Amino acid sequence: MATVKNPKSKKNLLDDLAIVSLYMNEVLEKNEAPKNVYLFCKSNQIEEADFYSFFNSLDAIKEAIWVKFFENAIDALHKDANYAGYENRNKLLSLYFTFFEILTMNRTYVYYALKDNKEGLKNLQQLRELRNQFKDYIVTIMKANESEKEKKVSRLTQPVFSEGAWFQFLFILKFWVDDTSKGFEKTDIMIEKSVKATFDILDTTPLESLFDLGKFIWKERA
């Protein structure tokens, strides 16, 4: 995420992105999250009333950070003139590769948010709004390439596929957090194999891809 200049001296520069950047910077510099809104505002010379005009809590900032990451990925995809013409499989691949590239650029923060803070499953709460936007976008991808014949079936498959894609993303995210390979090349392999297996299931030819994916996971975790 692009760094936003500190808005301390110019109140009119304060917006949701500025607050998000201040929050991330504080976490990165102190290796801990602010304890409450008052302390966060005090350390960054922000009026609490101004803070609450954008966010109702520090937890809301945590959720917003993930949404900003995702929005940056979508913006990057839509700048590619060829993206709209991709098949669904390649659109999903592009989404994952672009999203994880942005996460890699912010890995220190993401690693802290998901692992270093020792909050375990509570960390997933910050992904709630991302989950909604992610699933909506998956449905948008599916609708873009569906034929008239597929529309009746897609009303049933879209919710199932979007939920499945979300769990797939969480699985890849966990793999990426633990990935120690150079340039996270094993995560790239995981993305390719996972997406291939998913679409092969939709094509009712899953066994070879599932076996290939399972073999890769077993090798990495054995």
Non-local CB neighbours of 91 within 8 Å, separated by 6+ positions: 83, 141, 144
Non-local CB neighbours of 31 within 8 Å, separated by 6+ positions: 112, 116
Task: Report the sign of the C-alpha dihedral through residues 58, 121, 169, 105, in that order.
Answer: positive
Non-local CB neighbours of 58 within 8 Å, separated by 6+ positions: 23, 33, 34, 36, 37, 40
Do 104 and 148 share a domain, yes or no?
A: yes
Do 22 and 88 share a domain, yes or no?
A: no
Residue 6 within a domain: no
Do 76 and 180 share a domain, yes or no?
A: yes
Average pLDDT over residues 187-200: 90
Residue 57 within a domain: no
- The CA distances from residue 11 to 34, 120, 130, 145, in Å, are 21, 37, 29, 45
Do 72 and 171 share a domain, yes or no?
A: yes
Distance CA 141, CA 85 (A): 11
Do 46 and 91 share a domain, yes or no?
A: no
Measured from the Cβ of residue 178, the count of other Cβ atoms closer than 10 Å reads 12
Task: Count up the domains in the chain and report the number.
Answer: 2
Q: What is the CA radius of gyration of the chain?
A: 20
Do 76 and 27 share a domain, yes or no?
A: no
Residue 120 within a domain: yes
Do 44 and 127 share a domain, yes or no?
A: no
Residue 31 within a domain: yes
Do 16 and 90 share a domain, yes or no?
A: no
Residue 80 within a domain: yes
Residue 73 within a domain: yes
CA 51 to chain centre: 24
Percent of the chain predicted with pLDDT > 70: 82
Band (pLDDT 50/70/90 cuts) for residue 5 is very low
Q: Which domain holds residue 98?
A: 63-221
Band (pLDDT 50/70/90 cuts) for residue 119 is confident
* Least reliable range by pLDDT among 151-155, 157-161, 174-178: 151-155
Do 41 and 133 share a domain, yes or no?
A: no
